[in-house]
Amino acid sequence: MTALGHLPTPANTVAPERDEGHRRGPAGYLLMIPGTVWLALFFVLPTVTLAASSLYDPSGSLLNGYQMTWHWQNYTEALREYAPIFLRSFLYAFAATVVCLLLGFPLAYAIAFKAGRWKNLMLVAVIAPFFTSFLVRTLSWKFLLSDNGFIVQTLSSLPAVPDDLRLLATPFAVITGLAYNFLPFMVLPLYASLEKMDPRLLEAAGDLYASPVNGFLRVTLPLAMPGVVAGTLLTFIPAAGDFINDELLGNPRTRMIGNTIQQLFLQAGDVATASALSVTMMVVIVLMVLVYVRKAGTEDLV
């Protein structure tokens, strides 16, 4: 608390302000209207239709129409058929999140504490890739990892590496692509957390005979936890549903759930199964987030 907060303030100057605040009540609700309408139109309505179409009678067709018959077997069938792909998506997303955390933490730390006058430039460098399209950036990875490209050719000329080394169209390429594309979403929240940290706390830890490692584990890391939680969520959730990286960098055996849903909706026209998969995906992610936020205990930090 600042010193100002402790200054005695004359009651008569505060009270009217509060009253005014109460009178502004209806205005607040009015201001909520655009947001509420937006949410209803673009979130609630699509979610309801999605849930409904996941319960369509699977024998429906465009010609005869689809009936909502509470056919919950769509879910069991979708899961029986596509459970391995679900598992794979979460695995890839998890791997990409770990890579992002390992790369992002030192980077965010460096920007927050060590960059000095280069701080803004480094931040711009993190954000700059957003100025080009996601698709173009992923396509350039395709070029970088190409079988006849510089990287693969150089690596396979090394003695310990097999001559027919391949990077593109492998799980490695997919995870690399995911990690690359979502790295800024990890770095920015981490930076926001670390930047608020008072460096004198570390000095104090040192004064109390904490080793640098101990200081990091007991001071820096706990204070960075909100950033870690936010960053991992922001990386993991979109990565699990991503389909561009696998589409461009993967092979048929690296299919992720996003690709399957897209394929079922647009190519096979299997609306019911595709919706069932989408709903399952949403539910699983929400549950994972709940458990994670609870375990990570950010509430304790607030």
Partner 1 sequence: MPRIRRTRPVLPPGLVASELSRRSFMRSAAAAGGLGIGVPSLLSACGTEGTGQTAETCKSTDRSSSEKELVWSNWPEYIDVKGKQLPTLEDFEKESGIDVTYNTDVNDNNEFFAKVQNQLGDCQPVNRDIIVLTDWMAARMVKLGWLQKLDHANLPNVDQNLVQNLQGPDWDRKRDYSVPWQSGFTGIAYNKKYTKPVGSFEELMTRPDLKGRISLLKEMRDTMGFMLLLAGADPTDFSDNDWQKAIEQLESGVSSGQIRRFTGNDYVDDLNNGDIAACEAWSGDVIAMQYDNPDIEWVVPEEGLALWSDNMLVPNKAYHKTNAEALMNYYYEPETAARLAAWVNYVCPVQGAKEAMEKIDPSLVDAPLIFPDEAFLAKAFSFKSLDESTAKQYDTDFSQAIG
C-alpha dihedral (165, 171, 173, 179), degrees to nearest 10: -140
- Tokens encoding 196: 């608020």
Which residue stretch of 94-102, 174-182, 237-245, 246-254 sits at the interface with partner 1 (rule: CB under 8 A)?
246-254
**Is 100 an interacting residue with respect to partner 1 (CB under 8 A)?**
no
In angstroms, the CA 291 to CA 285 distance is 10
If binding is defined by CB under 8 A, does position 98 make contact with partner 1?
Answer: no
Token pair of 174 as six digits:
């997919």
By CB under 8 A, tell whether 264 contacts partner 1: yes
Who contacts 223 (Cβ-Cβ below 8 Å, separation ≥6)?
Answer: 193, 194, 196, 197, 201
Q: What is the DSSP letter of 41?
A: I
**Buried b vs exposed e over 154-180: b needs ≥16 C-beta within 10 Å?**
eeeeeeeeeeeeebbbbbebbbbbbbb
- How far is 237 from 228, CA to CA, in rounded Å? 14
CB 181, CB 245: distance < 8 Å: yes
CB of 143 to partner 1, least distance (A): 8
C-alpha 185/C-alpha 275 separation (Å) is 28
Is residue 156 at the binding interface for partner 1, with CB under 8 A as the rule? Answer: no
* Residue with smaller CB distance to partner 1, 14 or 286: 286
Least separation in angstroms between residue 246's CB and partner 1 is 9
> Which two structure tokens, joined as six digits, stand for 291?
């458990």
Minimum CB distance to partner 1, residue 226 (Å): 4
Q: If binding is defined by CB under 8 A, does position 193 make contact with partner 1?
A: yes
Residue among 103, 241, 263, 288 that touches partner 1 (CB under 8 A): 263
Provide the minimum distance between the beta carbon of 10 and partner 1 in the complex, in angstroms, as a whole number.
Answer: 28
Number of residues this chain uses to bind partner 1 (CB under 8 A): 68
With CA atoms as reference, report the closest residue to 222 among 242, 244, 193: 193
Is there binding between residue 219 and partner 1 (CB under 8 A)? yes
Q: To the nearest whole angstrom, how small is the minimum distance from the Cβ of residue 16 to partner 1?
A: 27
Residue 31 binding partner 1, by CB under 8 A: no
Nearer to partner 1, 125 or 291 (CB): 291
Q: Which residues bind partner 1 (CB under 8 A)?
A: 44, 48-49, 51-53, 55-56, 59-68, 81, 146-148, 166, 168-169, 188-189, 192-193, 196-198, 201, 218-219, 222-223, 225-227, 229-230, 233-234, 251-255, 259-260, 263-270, 273, 286, 290, 293-294, 298-299, 301-302
